[in-house]
């Protein structure tokens, strides 16, 4: 076989009709003996792919049938994978007779679960038949990405050196008329037959694991699981038809529409604000080497910025070094350091000298949440900083305009609210004070772009947007605790509704002493549900007065053992007597979710945030609000407006005026 008989077809995103044309032409050309399909990706490929899928591109249906013709044809088709691929490209690669990749950092995955989408070119059928149900479930239902070595161990790819075309040609010579395994034996004889006793047991485990991660309201995971269970007891063609049927249901589901609107449409809208930013930030200063300061410094260094990290404690700086190293190790393990120089941590210059911040063109203060301390340090920084430098505070709740009074140039000051862990959380809340200049906001957006964050711009106010809504959520849980509701019942109701962590677990993680400061700050201004913050402080003090500060002290609302596992605190009943009749979990869920929406509506009425889509995005990215519900504002339509009003009125009658609509 001569190299002249090889058709080399390039598969790029977004997929175009010329790809299908090239495959059809090669299959029909009598001079072509082998097809090589080479895969190349783009930086924005995931976004383009989602747009193409949602648009109902007729090319998808054409490719679905063409891939079956390709794999059943007499010509060997080899996938050459030079870089990480996923989604539609991976589905096309699965239809090739074999796949080769290099030993370079290459990953395979389906990134679509975030958007409530699912495979639609036969991926739910080919993947488990090639690498087994276990690997397929990890990728399709858990969103995991396989490294090249993992994919090779599962039989999904062959690992070669950089001479992939030569290896592919040798394989094609040895397999002149290849057939896919599912076209050679009946499915009931396949290791991937879903009705075998071992696979039925495996599906039970997959189902239980899935239900711990997502709620039954999520259409895509449920559809994928059905494709795996029902499709893998049928022929490949029947399984592919089932997948297409399930996709038609998923694309119209409310959970998918909400995920797409928030995590794709709204997120792209936020990112568009920084897409055309041409400003650059050469040196970022960070004051405070704690958890947040280290996270900001690490993320900036990873993005290629020089960083000056200042703290008045050498011990804190030393701990920061170790923390940054651990984050880097985790990033390396999960493949997050591609195109990042191995010595990027050397960009972080740690020092005890606050004067070192003078050379920075953007400085972020990230110290304790105390107004007097922050104002004193901001005054010091403002006195020594370059006159053109921008100063920002990573405060959680303190009004930016009040902090700005400590700065010589308040017009060059604003809030930059990062979220922990900073290295992974995509959201940044940019808080514009009364005197913040537009140029200052633009420079903050440039930082957001440099750090690869999705920015949401809000006006100044106590708690801004995210912190005040989260505080309302935690406050409602504390009120239930005071009423004698079991803590695990509260947390379980929240998690069963889609929250990653229950509110009382979040309170312990936040630390109850810090939570006291947050409620105290909000109580001063008494906006929205913060009118009841003084009551929340009294509840929290029942714990802090007993030196129960949260998980960090091993004791908070819960106890924590040496393995940091959460346990009941037996003496809680002596503080808050258990209610004789515990509430229905559905009522608990309603209280926790309705109060978040009420507080978000307060913030919108006050002009803190104006765009409902940005409010939804902030809730999903900021505190992991269930994306399938759309967000704090979309929740009204998720449960339907009439039902929301019925729930809200009932809660108002039973629990008080905090459930009243703003302005009533």
Pairwise CA distance, residues 93 & 655, whole Å = 57
H and E: helices and strands count for the chain:
28, 18
Report pLDDT digits (tens) over 457-501.
Answer: 999 988 899 999 999 999 999 999 999 999 999 999 999 999 999
Report pLDDT digits (tens) over 355-384.
Answer: 999 999 999 999 988 889 999 999 999 999
Q: What is the pLDDT of residue 44?
A: 67
- Quickly count: other Cβ atoms within 10 Å of residue 437's Cβ: 17
Whether the predicted pLDDT of 43 surpasses 70: no
Long-range contacts of 652-656 (CB under 8 A, 24+ apart): 655/479, 655/591
Mean pLDDT score, 200-212: 91
Sole residue written with tokens 């020092």: 351
Pairwise CA distance, residues 354 & 373, whole Å = 15
User: May I ask the CATH class of domain 466-607+634-659?
Assistant: mainly alpha
Percent pLDDT > 70 in the chain is 99
**Cα three-residue angle 339-305-347, rounded to 5 degrees:** 85
Order of all β-strands in the sheet with 107-109: 85-86, 107-109, 146-147
Q: What is the CA radius of gyration of the chain?
A: 27
- CATH for 272-459, options being 3.40.50.720, 3.40.1260.10, 3.40.50.300, 3.40.640.10: 3.40.50.720
Report pLDDT digits (tens) over 214-231.
Answer: 888 999 999 999 999 999
Q: Could you give the C-alpha distances from 164 to 107, 193, 467, 471, 634, in angstroms and in order?
A: 17, 33, 52, 55, 49
Superfamily designation of domain 3-176: 2-enoyl-CoA Hydratase; Chain A, domain 1 (3.90.226.10)
Contacts of 55 by beta carbon, 8 Å cutoff, 6+ apart: none
Report pLDDT digits (tens) over 493-517.
Answer: 999 999 999 999 999 999 999 999 8
Q: Is it true that the peptide bond before 421 is cis, omega within 30 degrees of 0?
A: yes
Cβ–Cβ under 8 Å, residues 473 and 515: no
What 3-state DSSP class applies to 206? helix
CATH 3.40.50.720 boundaries in the chain: 272-459
Q: Could you give the C-alpha distances from 436 to 191, 391, 400, 403, 458, in angstroms and in order?
A: 64, 11, 9, 12, 12
Q: Can you give the length of the chain in residues?
A: 664
Mean pLDDT score, 15-34: 94
Cβ–Cβ under 8 Å, residues 492 and 581: no
Q: Could you give the C-alpha distances from 387 to 362, 363, 466, 549, in angstroms and in order?
A: 11, 12, 31, 41
- Quickly count: other Cβ atoms within 10 Å of residue 572's Cβ: 20
Q: Which of 329-333, 342-346, 541-545 has the lowest mean pLDDT?
A: 329-333
Report pLDDT digits (tens) over 378-400.
Answer: 999 999 988 889 999 999 888 99
Sole residue written with tokens 């009841």: 532
**Cα three-residue angle 491-496-498, rounded to 5 degrees:** 100
Whether the predicted pLDDT of 288 surpasses 70: yes
- Enter the tokens of residue 627: 């994306």
- Enter the tokens of residue 535: 């009551």
DSSP state of 160: -
What 3-state DSSP class applies to 543? helix
CATH 3.90.226.10 boundaries in the chain: 3-176
Pairwise CA distance, residues 377 & 355, whole Å = 12
Whether the predicted pLDDT of 659 surpasses 60: yes
* Helices 512-525 and 466-482: angle between axes, nearest 10 degrees: 110
Alpha-helical segments (H) within 80-175:
87-95, 123-131, 133-140, 148-153, 164-174
Q: What is the mean pLDDT of the chain?
A: 93
Whether the predicted pLDDT of 1 surpasses 60: no
Is 0.75 topped by the overall pTM?
A: yes
Handedness of CA 155, 159, 163, 164 (dihedral sign): positive
Report pLDDT digits (tens) over 581-612.
Answer: 999 999 999 999 999 999 999 999 999 999 99
CATH 1.10.1040.50 boundaries in the chain: 466-607+634-659
Order of all β-strands in the sheet with 77-81: 6-11, 34-39, 77-81, 98-101, 158-159
Report pLDDT digits (tens) over 133-184.
Answer: 999 999 999 998 888 888 888 889 888 876 888 888 999 999 998 999 999 9
Report pLDDT digits (tens) over 59-90.
Answer: 999 999 999 999 998 999 999 998 889 999 99
- Phi then psi for residue 107, to 5 deg, are -130, 150
Q: What is the pLDDT of residue 274?
A: 86
Pairwise CA distance, residues 119 & 97, whole Å = 19
């Amino acid at each position: 076989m001569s190299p002249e008989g090889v058709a080399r077809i390039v598969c790029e995103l977004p997929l175009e009709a010329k790809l299908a044309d090239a495959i059809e032409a090669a299959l029909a050309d009598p001079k072509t003996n082998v097809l090589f399909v080479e895969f190349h990706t783009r930086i924005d490929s995931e976004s383009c792919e989602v747009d193409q899928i949602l648009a109902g591109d007729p090319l998808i249906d054409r490719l679905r049938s063409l891939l079956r013709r390709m794999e059943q044809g007499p010509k060997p088709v080899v996938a050459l994978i030079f870089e990480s691929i996923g989604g539609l490209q991976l589905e096309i690669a699965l239809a090739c007779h074999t796949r080769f990749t290099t030993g370079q950092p290459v990953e395979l995955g389906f990134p679509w679960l975030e958007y409530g989408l699912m495979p639609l070119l036969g991926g739910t059928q080919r993947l488990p038949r090639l690498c087994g149900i276990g690997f397929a479930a990890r990728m399709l239902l858990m969103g995991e990405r396989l490294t090249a070595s993992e994919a090779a161990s599962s039989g999904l790819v062959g690992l070669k050196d950089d001479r992939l075309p030569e290896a592919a040609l040798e394989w094609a010579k040895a397999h002149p008329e290849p057939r896919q395994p599912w076209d050679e034996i009946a499915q009931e004889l396949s290791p991937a037959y879903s009705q075998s006793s071992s696979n039925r047991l495996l599906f039970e485990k997959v189902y239980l694991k899935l239900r711990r991660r997502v709620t039954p309201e999520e259409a895509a995971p449920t559809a994928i699981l059905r494709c795996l269970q029902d499709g893998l007891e049928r022929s490949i063609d029947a399984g592919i038809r089932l997948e297409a049927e399930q996709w038609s249901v998923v694309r119209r589901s409310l959970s998918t529409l909400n995920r797409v609107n928030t995590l794709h449409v709204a997120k792209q809208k936020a990112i568009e604000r920084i897409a055309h930013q041409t400003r650059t930030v050469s040196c970022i200063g960070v004051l405070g080497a704690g958890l947040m300061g280290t996270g900001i410094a690490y993320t900036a260094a990873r993005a290629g910025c020089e960083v000056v990290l200042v703290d008045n404690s050498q011990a804190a700086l030393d701990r920061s070094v170790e923390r940054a190293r651990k984050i880097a190790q985790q990033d390396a393990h999960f493949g997050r350091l591609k195109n990042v120089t191995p010595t990027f941590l050397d960009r972080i210059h740690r020092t005890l000298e606050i004067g070192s911040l003078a050379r920075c063109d953007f400085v972020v203060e990230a110290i304790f949440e105390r107004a007097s301390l922050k104002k004193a340090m901001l005054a010091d920084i403002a006195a020594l900083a370059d006159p053109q430098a921008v100063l920002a505070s990573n405060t959680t709740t303190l009004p930016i305009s009040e902090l700005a009074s400590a700065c010589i140039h308040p017009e060059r000051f604003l809030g930059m609210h990062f979220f922990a862990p900073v290295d992974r959380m995509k959201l940044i809340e940019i808080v514009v004070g009364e005197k913040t200049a537009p140029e200052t906001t633009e420079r903050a957006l440039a930082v957001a772009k440099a750090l690869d964050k999705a920015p949401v711009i809000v006006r100044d106010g106590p708690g801004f947007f995210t912190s005040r809504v989260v505080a309302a959520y935690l406050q409602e849980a504390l009120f239930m605790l005071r009423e004698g509701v079991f803590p695990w019942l509260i947390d379980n109701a929240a998690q069963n509704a889609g929250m990653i962590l229950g509110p009382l677990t979040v309170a312990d993680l936040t630390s109850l002493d810090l939570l006291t400061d947050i409620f105290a700050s909000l109580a001063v201004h008494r906006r929205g549900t913060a009118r009841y913050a003084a009551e929340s402080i009294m509840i929290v003090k029942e714990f802090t007065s007993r030196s129960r500060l949260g998980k960090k002290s091993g004791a908070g609302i819960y106890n924590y053992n040496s393995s940091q596992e959460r346990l009941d605190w037996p003496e809680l009943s002596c503080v808050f007597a258990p209610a004789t009749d515990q509430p229905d979990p559905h009522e608990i869920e309603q209280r926790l979710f309705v109060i978040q929406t009420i507080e978000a509506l307060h913030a919108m009425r006050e002009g803190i945030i104006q765009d409902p889509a940005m409010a939804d995005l902030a809730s999903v990215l900021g505190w992991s609000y269930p994306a399938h519900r759309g967000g704090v504002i979309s929740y009204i339509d998720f449960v339907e407006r009439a039902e929301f009003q019925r729930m809200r009125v009932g809660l108002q009658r039973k629990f008080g005026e905090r459930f009243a609509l703003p302005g009533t």
